[in-house]
Structure 1
Amino acid sequence: MPEPETIWIIGASDGIGAALAQEWAARGAKLVLSARSAVRLNALAASLGPGHIALPLDVGDRASLDAAAGQIADIGPIDRIVHLAALYDPGKIADLDPQTAADIITVNLTGSFHVAQIAPPLLRQGGQLALCGSVAGYIGLPQGQIYSASKAGVINLVESLRAELAGRIDVRLISPGFVDTRLTRRNDFDMPAMISPQQAATAIIKGLNARRFEVHFPRRLTLGLKLLRALPYWASLPLTRRLTR
């Protein structure tokens, strides 16, 4: 029987991260669970049974991540690191508070950069590093605002990382569509092809166990957006402009 995997989930306190933790724990993995909320992390770790570690941190604070990495180094080589933590604030660009915009960039993009730097030494040879973009990063959409821009940056970052770490680390990109979480519940527009966190977790695990670089779901949404991204601007911009109506 193979040894159970050791997996570090960053952004595990609720939503997709908590659902992933529940699914992987049910499959026998040993988990390190991170997010900013120590209370929620401790409750989740306790609900999963013995052997799981709650390790609070803030991905926007490099010192916090470095301290967490130091503790994880004592555990031994990690099989997978999955980074999901993000901030989101819906609305048009003109309406967004500048400090909120800065915080979103710090957590979503700079936080992913921090994880990309500290993760490789913690992973076993051939271990897996998965960072979370979004289908919102495929193309500029109405009300995507700075969140979409930050996720476009994450996609670019992961593509670069895939090339830089080829042969050493299995780098993957996760691109969810609309998932029913506390973040998407703030939206005041129709969200097509909405899925549950449990469905998202199942899709992520299936994708990360397969060979494709990008895990994107649900495909009835993502394939259409990929087609829109592939079009020349003269064709795609009029289509996206219609979405503002």
Structure 2
Amino acid sequence: MRGERLDKLLARMGLGSRKEVARLVRSGRVRVAGEVVQDPGYLLPEGAPLEVEGRPLRVRRHHHVLLHKPAGYVTSRTEGPSVYALLQGFPTRDLSPVGRLDKDTEGLLLFTTDGELLHRLTHPRHKVAKRYLVHLLNPATAEDQKAFREGLLLDGKRLLPAELCWGEDPTCVELTLREGRFHQVKRMFAARGNRVVYLKRLALGPLLLGDLPKGEARLLTEAEEAALYQAVGLGGQNPQGEV
């Protein structure tokens, strides 16, 4: 069985736009099964080894991109400034955000081409943890901790238990949720008579924002992908999806 066009696949792998990877192919820097291929429209045979500039390229069925979202960007294709403007060099047409971050919220925003993974990461049934750094107008209290831990009542519905903790400064807290309702963090603290003045997502399941600079994006490592699939019960489905 023959697969997709070489230029389309390389663009999907994040090696550049279709025009850029077409130039790469025509320059003779791409090999399939050890042979130079200079036709961007070449249909890659299934399972054929692929090299780009002398380095083996692992072809994956799905792609996952981690972005350190700055404030001022919206999680939308149709409104702006859009987070997709920060994903230059990645296959943005096929990438969907795993949930949303408000325009004034910073931090970890994951994009994926895997619809099943996206569904499992966002559905509350799977209880995938989302950890946030929150700066508050007023200090958090032990009563807030208890209310969040027991499941806050919001819009007449009981939220899943949430974990609230802090160090020396109770206006600088970390909150871990296992669901993602509309403006949930801000509305939870508002329900407790407080106000969020700064919000940043630090982690999604096993994924950590780490030291990725603000405004930059990167592909997940193989270890991160494996941990992510394992976290939602898809660990046995070979997330690399080599073709």
TM-score (norm. length: structure 1) = 0.27
Which is bigger in relative contact order (C-alpha 8 A, separation at least 6)?
2
TM-score (norm. length: structure 2) = 0.27
